[in-house]
Amino acid sequence: MSRTETAAPRSLYATAARQSVTKLSPRLLLRNPVLFVTAIVAAMTTLLALRDLVAGTGGGVTIQISLWLWITVLFANFAEALAEGRGKARADSLRTTGQETRVKRLASADAEHGSAESVSSTELRKGQFVLVDAGDLIPTDGEAVAGVASVNESAITGESAPVIREAGGDRSSVTGGTTIVSDWLVFKVTAEPGKSFLDKMIALVEGAERQKTPNEIALSILLTGLTLIFLFVVVTLQPFALYSGTSIPVVFLAALFVTLIPTTIGGLLSAIGIAGMDRLVKANVIAKSGRAVEAAGDVDVLLLDKTGTITFGNRMADGFLPTQGVSEKRLAQAAWLASQADDTPEGKSIVELATRVLGDDIPRIAIKEHVAFSAQTRLSGVDVEHGTTIRKGAVDAIVKHTGTEPNPILIGNIENIARSGGTPLLVSQDSQILGVIHLKDIIKPGVRERFAELRAMGVRTVMITGDNPLTAAAIAAEAGVDDFMAEATPEAKLERIRDEQAQGRLVAMCGDGSNDAPALAQADVGVAMNSGTPAAKEAGNLIDLDSDPTKLIEIVMVGKQLLISRGALTTFSIANDAAKYFAILPALFLGAYPGLATLNVMGLSSPESAILSAVIFNALVIVALIPLALRGVRYAPASASALLRNNLLIYGLGGLVVPFIGIKAIDLIVGALNLA
């Protein structure tokens, strides 16, 4: 991915330049009323210039005005093409991962590996079974039904660290375009050709066919309205001029009209929206619609599924609490021995925690026999030398095994663990209970701090879980969410979102399971984890390739940055137009009304120079603002009044001042060239 990203910019500009010409098609220009009107005026001035040339009446100024009007349209098209090209560059790099390849198809999930049939990946159909070994490319989306393997998903997520995919559980989903690093998998194809997650990603990141958001539509209506107002203003200037005993050339009126209508924001509007989606792609989030990106900027409430989203989803060892008279190290040694043959996530976490506690004091004891966990005994452990038995298991199972009741201190620890939402696991040696292991659903690192950031941005977080209220309250307190919803069913999640929306709030939902799909579909912003089920990814309108629930902070910031960027550039554009109006009109009517000389603060040399300088400035300012439109205005959490004040001071005042400076500088250059 990095090679593509570093190599892309050079070719990107050339492609965008070609696209800016292609986008002169009236059908494409019609999507942007301001640019469409500008193109019509440019065509009209071109005809006037040709007429003057044929008639032999000069037309040098008309030709220059016509040329700069076309350049204005091309620069606006270039901004949009450049924004689209950044997304398409990502799509092209993704497309290379989906090339046709040979795969091993099985007749059924339990077929022998030796019976695999070699076929083209294009022949795979939904419901068929595929065997992938180390080094193989996973050709399409599927669900693992056998085996366990390490998978490199960097082609999709950009993350180089391999992930484990295995049959059953939440890690069974495999994605086309990823590669098996080690071991093997048999997976069931879940997507028809051309409809895999990779295919959808390619279509989504290109963004060329994205629909306009409600705010963008409202802004388009505003710009259209301003265009009609300035059309009326310009049309009425000629009667005033005739009444005053003078006349304004039609080409001047046409050029004045284009410089007054909001061409700056009109030309950059699409680029701002596309760039917002592109910034999400850089954050490893795929947006299915521009609406979701924009809605993220106004989110009031975030609902998060607990398991796999806020927590890792597996119970893990969090601490050793020895009974009276037993040291922590002795309890850790026994737990370490009892978990040697336990391949469950819980067992591995006990070994890891015990290793950290023991350091160099790892027990050197010969193990005679491993005792596997069974549903009947609810115990596991080892038999070691001298007939010693070490077991770990549920509280009642260990009490029954040892025939010993826990002392009051140990009972207190057990009750505290249960109240906190954890699971107590007793450890015994022969008939003695050594202590308890605290198993808990571990909160993902950094979650609490990230939720605090969301709170500062005005977003309220709500954890949704199927746990009982006691467990839910404990995890909610540790995670730092503002509210929680316990014993939640899919119907209850859906109802909660509808209730929040009925109160006028915009709701975002993060989830990864099939039971989250209805809520993800109902939410204004549905963020599905890439590690989640196909149903969740289908229901969400944003897909987080890193499966990081705290990514919503970046999503919200990109959404707010998009809204602020659009507002800032709109403020600049409108102020810009007002400044140009008062800068140019005095120069146009100076001959008829000499008293206007006091208003000609820029001292523009002539009406021709004033109009030409304004047209040139109008084109160049679009180019100057392209980097800002693509990068976005920097967002820092602040109140609406503070943001408005900054907009007016920086972009409003800047929009008033810059045209005076720019037009005067261009007027001096134009005057010098004419003298030369």
Binding-site residues, in ranges, read 342, 346, 373-380, 392, 512, 516
Annotated binding-site residues for ATP read 342, 346, 373-380, 392
- Which distant-in-sequence residues (6+ apart) come within 8 Å of 574 by Cβ? 226, 262, 265, 655
What is the C-alpha to C-alpha distance for residues 223 and 212, in angstroms, rounded to an integer? 15
Q: Where are the beta strands (DSSP E) in 374-447?
A: 379-384, 389-393, 423-429, 432-443
Which is it for the CA torsion 437, 442, 445, 448, positive or negative? negative
**Cα–Cα distance list, 17 to 23, 410, 637 (Å):** 10, 74, 37
Task: Determine which helix (DSSP H) or strand (DSSP E) holds 178, and give its type and residue range.
Answer: none
CB 621 within 8 Å of CB 655: no
Residue written as token pair 């979102």: 497
Note if 546 is an active site residue: no
Calpha distance 141→170 (Å, rounded): 15
Nearest to 100 by CA among 79, 119, 78: 119
CA of 377: how far to CAs of 371, 372, 390, 399, in Å?
A: 11, 10, 14, 12
Q: Indicate the burial class of 664 (C-beta count within 10 angstroms; 0-12, 13-18, 19 or more).
A: middle
Cα–Cα distance measured from residue 266 to residue 629, given in angstroms and rounded to the nearest whole number: 12
CA-wise closest residue to 124 among 178, 28, 194: 194
Between helices 33-55 and 60-95, what is the axis angle to 10°? 140
C-alpha–C-alpha distance, residues 395 and 406, integer Å: 9
Contact 417, 317 (CB under 8 A): no
Helix H or strand E encompassing 453: helix 447-456
The label of the residue with tokens 């989830």 reads: 511
**Which H helix or E strand runs over 56?**
none
SS3 content of the chain, % helix, strand, coil (to 5): 55, 20, 25
**Side chain identity at residue 164, one-letter code:** I
Q: What is the 3-state secondary structure (H, E, C) of 489-550?
A: CHHHHHHHHHHHHHCCCCEEEEECCHHHHHHHHHCCEEEEECCCCHHHHHHCCEEECCCCHH
- Neighbouring CB atoms inside 10 A of 50's CB total 14
Q: Do residues 250 and 41 touch, judged by C-beta distance below 8 A?
A: no
Altogether, the residues listed in the chain come to a count of 676
Q: Which pair of structure tokens corresponds to residue 647?
A: 């907009």
On whether the CB atoms of residues 277 and 290 are closer than 8 A, the answer is yes
Q: Between β-strands 542-544 and 285-287, what pairing exists: parallel, antiparallel or unpaired?
A: antiparallel
Task: Say which of 278, 305, 441, 548 is annotated catalytic.
Answer: 305
The counts of H helices and E strands in the chain are 23, 20
DSSP character at residue 422:
-
**CB-based contact 466:487 (threshold 8 Å):** yes
Which are the catalytic amino acids?
305
